[in-house]
């Protein structure tokens, strides 16, 4: 109150801010606690920004539910790729030309990168994601289908 008087701010607005500020977590403000402050059966509002935790939690839950629904819809027709084994011949997509080139699987990367493999191509080792590696049998099947047509 002293600051409001010294700065010549609106004393009524300062009182309103004090009355509408919650005392602690879970304890409503004096204006929300005492019915005499609720004029016309409405909540008293001030110009102080206060986040209503209950509304924030409801929004968070609604967002999580929506994200889960979208994720299940997105993953509806997906299937996990088969794991590759060391020494297995594969084709790897070149990052620039996007052409599939032959290579050999050396090993799977650590647990932090479960979808990555170390591959050997032209006497060099590269780390590639599983989505850029295809089993050699996949390309042989595609070539046979093209020859039939």
Mean pLDDT over 134-140 rounds to 74
Judge whether residue 119 has pLDDT over 90. Answer: yes
For residues 12 and 1, the answer to whether their CB atoms sit within 8 Å is no
What's the CA gap between 130 and 39, in Å, rounded?
64
Residue 118: Cβ within 10 Å count: 14
Judge whether residue 115 has pLDDT over 90. Answer: no
Mean pLDDT over 4-30 rounds to 70
For residues 19 and 29, the answer to whether their CB atoms sit within 8 Å is yes
Give residue 30's pLDDT.
62
Nearest by Cα to 127 from 138, 135, 139, 119 = 119
What's the CA gap between 62 and 38, in Å, rounded?
30
Q: Say what the pTM is.
A: 0.48
Mean pLDDT rounded to a whole number for the chain: 78
Tokens of 13: 């607005």
Residue 106: Cβ within 10 Å count: 16
For residues 16 and 1, the answer to whether their CB atoms sit within 8 Å is no
Q: Name the helix (H) or strand (E) containing 133.
A: strand 133-135
């Amino acid at each position: 109150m002293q600051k409001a008087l010294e700065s010549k701010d609106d004393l009524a607005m300062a009182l309103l801010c004090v009355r509408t500020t919650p005392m602690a977590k879970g304890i409503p403000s004096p204006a929300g606690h005492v019915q005499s402050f609720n004029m016309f059966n409405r909540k008293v509002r001030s110009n102080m920004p206060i986040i209503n935790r209950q509304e924030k939690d409801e929004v968070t839950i609604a967002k999580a539910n929506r994200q889960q629904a979208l994720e299940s819809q997105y993953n509806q027709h997906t299937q996990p790729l088969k794991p590759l084994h060391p020494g297995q011949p594969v084709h790897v997509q070149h990052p620039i030309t996007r052409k599939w080139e032959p290579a050999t699987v050396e090993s799977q990367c650590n647990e932090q990168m479960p979808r990555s493999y170390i591959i050997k191509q032209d006497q060099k080792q590269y780390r590639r994601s599983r989505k850029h590696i295809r089993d050699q049998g996949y390309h042989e099947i595609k070539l046979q289908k093209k020859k039939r047509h």
